[in-house]
Structure 1
Amino acid sequence: MAEIISMPQLSDTMKEGTVIKWNKKIGDKVSEGDILAEIETDKATQDFEIDISGILLFIGVKEGETTRVNDVLAIIGDEGEDISHIIYELEYKKQEKKNQEFKEKKKKIFISPVAKKMAKEIGIPIDNIKGSGEYGRIIKKDIEFYEKIKLKKSEDQNTVRTLHSSIRKKIAEHLTHSKFSAPHYYLFSEINADKLIEFRKNLNDKLSLEERISFNDIIIKAVAKSLVKHPDMNVSWNDEEVIIHPHVHIGIAVAIKDGLIVPVIKNADQKSLLQISKEIKDKALRSKSKKIQPEEIENSTFTVSNLGMYGIESFTSIINTPNTSILSVGSIMRRPIVKNYKIEIGNVMKITLSCDHRIIDGAKGSEYIHSLRKFLEDPITILF
């Protein structure tokens, strides 16, 4: 008997999904446990595993198309089964819904005689114009404005436009909420990176090419160790309470095609540099191929964003709420520095700590930066 498969809710915040790839085509046999399709949610691209067996009789969402959770994704049934009545009913309901939405949008249009005459002469459909007159009445200046916009669009016809992906829309929503709900302030500091460079070189001399430690790996470890020293920085805020986390989970901002994603290194303070390095490489690779799992990008307690590899000297970041801080790391630069009362050429790295002023005040953030600087300027101490 035919069974309708709906667009699943693959994350707690998912409202719609985009079918990236169908692994089966109409007429194929599917078995319980098969990966029917790859679906992009607001967080990642996930495999959709089917829990029934049968023949794929109907595909309701084409590759690249987006539909809401619980809308019809596919129909699975017996070989040769007639499902025309089901498809007809689905199409009927779909059209009925469109008609209802159209009736809700349709309303009486108020327009001045002069504006009506202008619209007719120019050939402008007044249904598309929003009136600025009393009670929404369309007046002369509305027609003139619409004509200018129409002309602008015709001049700009070669512009390429692409729809936002589910991930990009979710990123925009999350960052907008964070920026305007958490009052940000920023602490800037400069790190002497001479010993950091030497420490990394000495480590990598003893490791294989695949095991090489990056500066970012060392920074993550130092950040985690500093949070252990300052548990009042390892917190989350909500309207009722402050949550002090007993664990240190570091989110790593990773650039992907549609924006950025934040895989999490859990219990980073308890892991070795080699463990951190392997985990970052693995999760960064799977983030870029959209194979990262939702549970691997959740429950961070602090975030690090490193743009040093792009030659960026310093920058500020938006806090990844419900975290209350994010560390921005710039590139290591050769600069004149004062050492033993003399000016010498040395290596410096600029860092910026963005803090949520509702819970992290200036003194608290500064004490954290002080501890972090000590670890980074003498990095062998992070091993103890």
Structure 2
Amino acid sequence: MATELTMPALSPTMEVGTLAKWLVKEGDTVEPGDLIAEIETDKATMEFEAVDPGTIAKILVQEGTEEVAVGTPIAMLAEEGEDISSVEAPAKSDKTEEPKGEAREEDEPTKDEEKAPPPKAASAPKETDKGYGRDSAPASRGGGDLPPAGPAPTADGERLNVTPLARRIADARGIDLSSVKGSGPKGRIVKADVENAKAGEAKAAEAGKAAPAEKAAGKGAAPAAPAPAYTEAAADAPHETEKLSNVRKVTARRLTESKQTVPHFYLTVDCNLDALLKLRSQLNAGLQDKGVKLSVNDLIVKALAVALDEVPNANVQFAGDNLVKYSRVDVSVAVALEGGLITPIIRNAAEKRLSTIAEEMKDLASRARDGKLKPEEFQGGTASLSNLGMYGIKQFEAVINPPQGMIMAIGAGEKRPYVVDDALQIATVMSATGSFDHRAIDGATGAELMAAFKRLVENPMGMLA
């Protein structure tokens, strides 16, 4: 009997994916472990392997199909010896009648709906503390594009018929669901209805929302501001419209969330790179036979990791009513991609040798650009580093990657006047700016970290001790 191959969950927070490419065709025989498709998640393009042997009888979802819900049948696999011409596509259920498969059975409550008290006609519905959304739990790492759905809103005392995804989108954009007309079965509000809602239907500006917002802020999680309404590009200017990749969508959402909910403060130090550059040359000469070449960025990753190890109060994460303190330093390093940004992680960077960091960074960056990173290689990290020095950028302020508590922005090393041993000289100077989450890290703690980083860069032998 033929079995369904369904869209897999390739990361802990994956809800939908794009079927980027089929690696097999109908009639092909597969064995366990054979690659059958490439699937683009919210972070990377990953390979989907066959689990059981059989023959690909029918391909149900074509290449390039976007936002295929996890669990949606994408192909039929016939058993050995089974006539593939007799295999039929599965019948559509109520769950697939709505756009892109996000809806559940209409009367199946979400966990939030089960916890919510029955609505009362005489009272206004309560709003839950949305917190960080996908990153509210300390163990959560990356992924997850929208804040969690709150209790189902009510209209005239009755619960609205709305899918969880549509409700999460409405919460993120500040859409009043009571004014949205549903196009799904029995008038259910689905994703497309919310996305097509007019900007004037935003509920964030309503006067009655001030009190719930203050209540949420008191719990350490300010409510996200409604997303701005975007219009078509000016018709008189030549242009083309390019669809955002999943990576770009997630990057946009996460960084918008960070700037709206995280109180950033910034500290900048200038570092004399001459000693670090000299040490790099000496180490590279000794590593030449091993085929390893250290970059300046490798030494900076090590310096940040050791500085965080020395100042553990900066290696923290804000988590609502809790502060998470990490005993290990995992540095997320920003890597630019064709369609966005990703941050592969050097784990336990303070304890690793520079040659190990160099080899890992080269491998991670290469596979990141090819979209071949595993979820555990880019989800997590206790702090981040972003280096734009190779572009000649003198100084910049990076946006914190939530739920992390800080990110270090590295500028270019350039010849500048600099005081060395009480004498003004020309030195290779680099500006480094730390962005800190003021809910988790105080100004003095941030300054202590920046001072430790500067000392390690200017006296790099301390990193090797």
Partner of 2:388 in structure 1? 307
Which of residues 277, 292, 295 is equivalent to 1:197?
Answer: 277
Q: Say whether the 8 Å CA contact 1:8–1:70 is kept in structure 2.
A: yes
Partner of 1:62 in structure 2? 62
Secondary structure of the corresponding residue to residue 449 of structure 2: helix
Q: Say whether the 8 Å CA contact 1:56–1:74 is kept in structure 2.
A: yes
Partner of 1:182 in structure 2? 262
Task: Evaluate the alpha carbon distance shift between residue 129 and residue 177 of structure 1 in structure 2; reply closer, same or farther with a 3 A threshold.
Answer: closer
Task: Evaluate the alpha carbon distance shift between residue 229 and residue 49 of structure 1 in structure 2; reply closer, same or farther with a 3 A threshold.
Answer: same
Give the structure, 1 or 2, with the largest relative contact order (CA under 8 Å, sep 6 or more): 1
Task: Evaluate the alpha carbon distance shift between residue 72 and residue 348 of structure 1 in structure 2; reply closer, same or farther with a 3 A threshold.
Answer: same
Flag structure 2 segments of 5+ consecutive residues without an equivalent. 100-181, 190-195, 201-230
Which amino acid in the other structure matches residue 411 of structure 2? Answer: G
Q: Say whether the 8 Å CA contact 1:283–1:292 is kept in structure 2.
A: yes
Deviations 1:66-99 (A, max 9, x none): 1122222111114433456536x34x97995469
Q: How many residues align?
A: 344
Q: Say whether the 8 Å CA contact 2:78–2:87 is kept in structure 1.
A: no
Percentage of identical aligned residues: 38
| Structure 2 counterparts to residues 1-384 of structure 1, below 5 A | 1-66=1-66, 67-78=68-79, 79-83=82-86, 85-86=88-89, 89-90=91-92, 97=98, 101=184, 104=187, 155=236, 159-208=239-288, 210-384=291-465
Q: Say whether the 8 Å CA contact 1:2–1:83 is kept in structure 2.
A: no
Q: If each structure's helix is expressed as a fraction of its own residues, which one has the higher value? A: 1
Give the distance between the partners of 1:131 and 1:15, measured in 2 at CA. 26
Give the distance between the partners of 2:380 and 2:96, measured in 1 at CA. 42
Deviations 1:229-256 (A, max 9, x none): 1111111111121011111111111111
Give the distance between the partners of 2:366 and 2:197, measured in 1 at CA. 48
Of 22-31 and 324-333, deviating more is 22-31
Task: Evaluate the alpha carbon distance shift between residue 364 and residue 94 of structure 1 in structure 2; reply closer, same or farther with a 3 A threshold.
Answer: closer
Q: Say whether the 8 Å CA contact 1:250–1:266 is kept in structure 2.
A: yes
Give the distance between the partners of 1:379 and 1:131, measured in 2 at CA. 54
Task: Evaluate the alpha carbon distance shift between residue 204 and residue 45 of structure 1 in structure 2; reply closer, same or farther with a 3 A threshold.
Answer: same
Deviation, 1:168, is: 1.5
Deviation, 1:360, is: 0.8
Q: Rg: which structure is higher?
A: 1
Of 4-13 and 324-333, deviating more is 4-13
Give the distance between the partners of 1:225 and 1:343, measured in 2 at CA. 29
Give the distance between the partners of 1:206 and 1:298, measured in 2 at CA. 34
Deviation, 1:380, is: 1.3
Which amino acid in the other structure matches residue 5 of structure 1? Answer: L
Which amino acid in the other structure matches residue 81 of structure 1? Answer: I
TM-score by length of 1: 0.82
Deviation, 1:338, is: 2.8
Q: Say whether the 8 Å CA contact 2:76–2:89 is kept in structure 1.
A: no
Task: List structure 1 runs of 4+ shifted beyond 6 angstroms.
Answer: 92-95, 128-132
Flag structure 1 segments of 5+ consecutive residues without an equivalent. 107-127, 133-148
Give the distance between the partners of 1:71 and 1:257, measured in 2 at CA. 29
Deviation, 1:339, is: 3.2
TM-score by length of 2: 0.69
Q: Tell me how large the CA RMSD over aligned residues is.
A: 2.7
Partner of 1:118 in structure 2? none
Deviation, 1:334, is: 0.6
Which amino acid in the other structure matches residue 254 of structure 1? Answer: V
Of 241-250 and 349-358, deviating more is 241-250
Q: Say whether the 8 Å CA contact 1:314–1:351 is kept in structure 2.
A: yes
Partner of 2:167 in structure 1? none
Give the distance between the partners of 2:461 and 2:248, measured in 1 at CA. 39
Which amino acid in the other structure matches residue 394 of structure 2? Answer: E
Give the distance between the partners of 2:384 and 2:96, measured in 1 at CA. 46
Give the distance between the partners of 1:176 and 1:83, measured in 2 at CA. 50
Secondary structure of the corresponding residue to residue 411 of structure 2: strand
Deviation, 1:340, is: 4.2
Give the distance between the partners of 2:41 and 2:268, measured in 1 at CA. 36
